[in-house]
Chain A
Amino acid sequence: MVDKWTGASTASRFKHQVFYALIKIGGRRLAYILLYFVVAFYTLVPKFRKTASPYIDKMFMPKNFFEKFRHCYKLFLTFGKTLVDRAAFGISGEIEILSSKEDKDLVKTLHAKNKGLIIITAHAGAWASAMSSFDFVDGKKYVLYKRNDKDVDKQAHEHGRTKQTVNFIDPTSYGGGSFEILSALEKKGIVCVMGDREFGSPRNKIETPFLGANIALPSSIYRIAAASGAPILVIFFPFMGAGKLSSVVADNFYVEDKGPKISAYKPEAARFALAFEKFVKQYPYQYFNFYDIWRKDDKNFS
């Protein structure tokens, strides 16, 4: 079992290069053809299936091996497609982000309050492409993002075709990125964080139910929202097919300043978890969680 998420790529740099070459030659659909075989291989290997097992067990409660195998294949395939799409976006610059007028208006209204904006999302759907393009709202953008040294998969802008439109803040840097986040919000910036994976201080965790059992979620962003007065938007980016993703505002709220005690922000973390659970139930093959977030020991819980 994978103890903890690391961010390291499963495939080698060469294998990624093969996909990039196919995209350049025949577009994303040619890369998809290879992807079906690659995903079949990964699904056949028990150690890779095990990485998805905790989520598949909780989400689908499969009755037998074959059912579990099928869910695993579909999950890996959707994940692969989102990665191909991110690369295709980086190489060709083509991507279509669908958002409702209502959601766009809401984002604009909240951003116009001049308190900055905090977008909380998760490792689900086409989040990687969305983070790379991030043009669904105007303003200077920042993404709290830790890149593993063994992550060889390129971000979209690293393909050289698209501009880097976001500034990255390292959550494992000195101060956990807090200086940069608060400064960005002070300047009315838009800060995007992952609400489903904790980083930094071991105290930066709040237990909350998710798919029937408790998980540990990061908490400091709610403290930052409270102190800065910035509104929180919970947005997910479901993959809608080749070259298409959607941005869906699942929730929005302000956080009351309840002081420095991190446990005081449990209701807000639970609110995110609830919105996320609703999302994964609607798009069950779009939560790319490959370690046991429910494992209740010092790996995940304080």
Chain B
Amino acid sequence: MIKTSLDDVKKVLKANLSLEGIDIDALGEDSSLFEGLGLDSLDAIELVIILRKNYDIIIDNMQDGKAIFQTMGTLRKHIKENRKK
């Protein structure tokens, strides 16, 4: 199985998102993804694609997405609990 520590998840995000001006290494479990980092709908697409390609996880709707992408911690937890790879 693919590792899901905070650092591992950050590595995947760093490799797949264009995060200009954002120091992803400085993010902690409580760091807010959308409000805090200023991610937008295009980043949401990339996040969904990252989950599908890297962890075989599908997000069905915005309610789930909102909860999953709230913070780095919620994202990491969802990956850990739902990954199929």
Give the interface of A toward B (CB within 8 A).
Answer: 173-180, 182-183, 186, 200-204, 220, 223-224, 227, 260-262
Contacts and interface: CB of A to CB of B under 8 A. Distances in A.
B16 interface: yes
Given A186-B58, A261-B18, A176 B49 contact: no
Contacts of B18: 260-261
Contacts of B61: 179-180, 183
A177 B60 CA distance: 10
Contact of A175 (B17, B49, B58, B62): B62
B46 A175 contact: no
Given A186-B58, A204-B42, A227-B53, 4 more contacts: A174-B66, A179-B48, A220-B41, A227-B52
Interface in B55-71: 58-62, 64-66, 69
Contacts of B59: 179, 182-183
A182 B49 contact: yes
A176, A179, A180, most chain B CB atoms within 10 A: A179
Residues of B in contact with A, size category: 20 to 34
Nearest 10 CB-CB pairs, A to B?
Answer: A176-B41, A175-B44, A201-B40, A200-B41, A179-B65, A178-B45, A227-B49, A201-B41, A183-B60, A174-B62
Contacts of A262: 42
Contact of A260 (B34, B46, B62): B46
Given A182-B48, A260-B16, A173 B42 contact: no
Contact of B17 (A200, A201, A260): A260
23 contacts: A173-B62, A174-B34, A174-B65, A174-B66, A175-B66, A176-B40, A176-B41, A176-B44, A178-B41, A178-B44, A178-B48, A179-B48, A179-B64, A180-B61, A180-B62, A200-B41, A202-B40, A203-B42, A204-B41, A220-B42, A220-B45, A223-B45, A260-B49
Contacts of B66: 174-175
A200 B40 contact: yes
A280 to B, nearest CB: 28
A244 B22 CA distance: 53
Contacts of A175: 41, 44-45, 48, 62, 65-66, 69
Contacts of B53: 227
A224 B59 CA distance: 14
Contacts of B49: 182, 227, 260
A179 B52 CA distance: 11
Nearest to A260: B46
